Amino acid sequence: MLYTLRASCRLPATVTSMKKIPALLIQALAVAMLAASPAHATHPSSSKKKPIAKSRSAKVKPAQKSRSKSKATIPAAEFANFTQWQAVDGFIDEMCRDHGFEREALRSLFGQIHYLDSVVKLINPPPVGTVKNWSVYRARFIEPRRLNAGTKFWNRYTVELERAQQEFGVPAEIIVGVLGVETMYGQAAGKFRVVDSLTTLAFAYPETPNREPRMAYFRNELKQALLYARESNVDSLSLHGSFAGAIGWPQFMPGSIRRYAVDFDGDGKIDLRNSAVDAIGSIASFLSQHGWQRDQPLVFPVRVTADMPWPSLIGRSLEAKLSREELQVAGVIVPDEVPASHPYGLFDLEDGSQPTRYLLGTQNFFAITHYNRSYYYAMAVIELGQAISRHRLR
């Protein structure tokens, strides 16, 4: 999540996909026909366009782990002159005013950025009524290729994984689980150009109920990407990642790179795109700074009593705050082996036509949900790491 726009440098020309030539020819004809109209300079997905603006504006929100994986193929790009979008102009103003970027360098950059319709489609939530299925989700990750790749990775980086556990308290199986779920140990780190994805989502997010906060989030991540690129002396156009802008082996968003990533291989720079060792240390650092407790358990399966108020406890927050007694009063049947010394959170895993599973998570479980805000994701990380640990012993 780190790469810098060098304000004084000339930026390289963009290389874009030529897969949709017929569509591009049609688009070119349409542009020629509309040349007299100012609207041709903007993309229809943006709600904040300008014909050619004088005014400026803007502002931002938080940072976190992105949703799923990128497509294996290079995404097709569509031209949109972002330099003529009013919201982009306001963003450029902000970066110049608050962070010392040069206006012409940023205008040159945004002149090379492309709108990605594929990103807009991928970011949309699943249709209402989609049935969640833990068994199907789990099977995507607990499978032979990942088990073999994870075993090789663990064997190769045993020393570094042990060092991360000593320094941050995060066990090797959790770090190996994260890397297996995120990118299959660097094999699927994403082919989307990060500034294309983040600009598209920051200024042309699809029409959803949470559109404004999500645009603010991605606008902040776009800012973080430009700052990261400048700090790391990297061309921002060279950064590639997931459709949501996550970068490298561990799929950190740019803001998370700047806050949590570490130079774990000691070469003087943080490089999550090429250094597996930096990825190992950075995952451990992230989890440690999100509440991971050394030697604490993770999850316990429980049962629930019908017609009791336990449903109100599910999904309260990404924190473990409930005592064993509070859970029992609400109708949760807690096994004797669950320590009374830890706080917990109650969560569920819907499993298609099978009975829903109920579990208690400790603070360590919820630390993983800060990486990706999904109970399914956190359980996949845990179970993949455990499965690889067993696989190594064969």
Active site positions, annotated: 182
Report d(CA 215, CA 393) in Å as an integer: 46
Dihedral pair phi/psi, residue 344, rounded to 5°: -140, 165
Instruction: At 359, list the tokens.
Output: 């579990």
Report d(CA 158, CA 277) in Å as an integer: 11
Is 381 strand, coil or helix?
Answer: helix
Cβ partners under 8 Å of residue 141, min gap 6: 180, 181, 380, 383, 384
Distance of CA 391 to the CA centre of its chain: 28
Question: From edge to edge, which strands make up the β-sheet containing 345-351?
Answer: 332-333, 299-304, 354-361, 345-351
State the DSSP string of 112-175: T--B-HHHHHHHSPPPTTPPPBHHHHHHTTSSHHHHHHHHHHHHHTHHHHHHHHHHH---HHHH
Cβ pair 215, 203 in contact under 8 A: yes
Task: Determine the residue type at 295.
Answer: D
Is 204 strand, coil or helix?
Answer: coil
Cβ pair 344, 316 in contact under 8 A: no
